[in-house]
Amino acid sequence: MAESLSALESRRADLLRSLSNLKDMRPGSVVGAVFRCGKASCHCARPGDPGHGPKLRLTYKWHGKTVTEALPTPAAVRKAEREIAEFREYQRLGRELVEINEKICRLRPAEEVLTPQEKKRRTPSSRKLGAK
């Protein structure tokens, strides 16, 4: 069954309220980086050793470039994860808002009222009249 225009408008208002209640957000992912320090005497230089880490980092794209930020403490990791979760909620709400607006646009009838500019008749150019 098709939804009514008023129900869709109500859902859109709810979505807009939800969007306005979002907290700090940022795109990205928390990833663990394992690395080797390069010292010959370190355990990470031995064959089969897993290396150092994992060191947790926040990775995201900015103007087409990958940016990586260190997350030095568990508190920084939790903060980044909250912000990423909020960003994902923002994306979900945005997609839903666009879907609802598309339905509203399809259901809303076109108004057949002409604006004052549309009502004006275009007058022919005097130069064109003399050229005949």
Q: Given the structure tokens 């609802």, which residue do they identify?
A: 100
Q: 82 or 38: whose pLDDT is higher?
A: 82
Q: Name the strands in the sheet holding 52-62, side by side, starting at the edge strand that comes first in the sequence.
A: 29-35, 52-62, 65-70
Residue owning tokens 């990205």:
28
Q: How far apart are CA 6 and CA 71, in angstroms?
A: 47
Q: Which element (helix H / strand E) includes 69?
A: strand 65-70
- Residue 96 above 80 pLDDT? yes
Give domain limits for the chain.
5-108
Supply the pTM of this predicted model: 0.71
**Which phi-psi region, left, alpha or beta, contains residue 93 (left: φ > 0; alpha: ψ -120 to 50)?**
alpha
Cα–Cα distances (Å) from 25 to 14, 21, 22, 28, 35, in that order, read: 20, 12, 8, 10, 29
Per residue in 24-63, pLDDT tens? Answer: 999 999 999 887 888 888 988 888 888 888 899 999 999 9
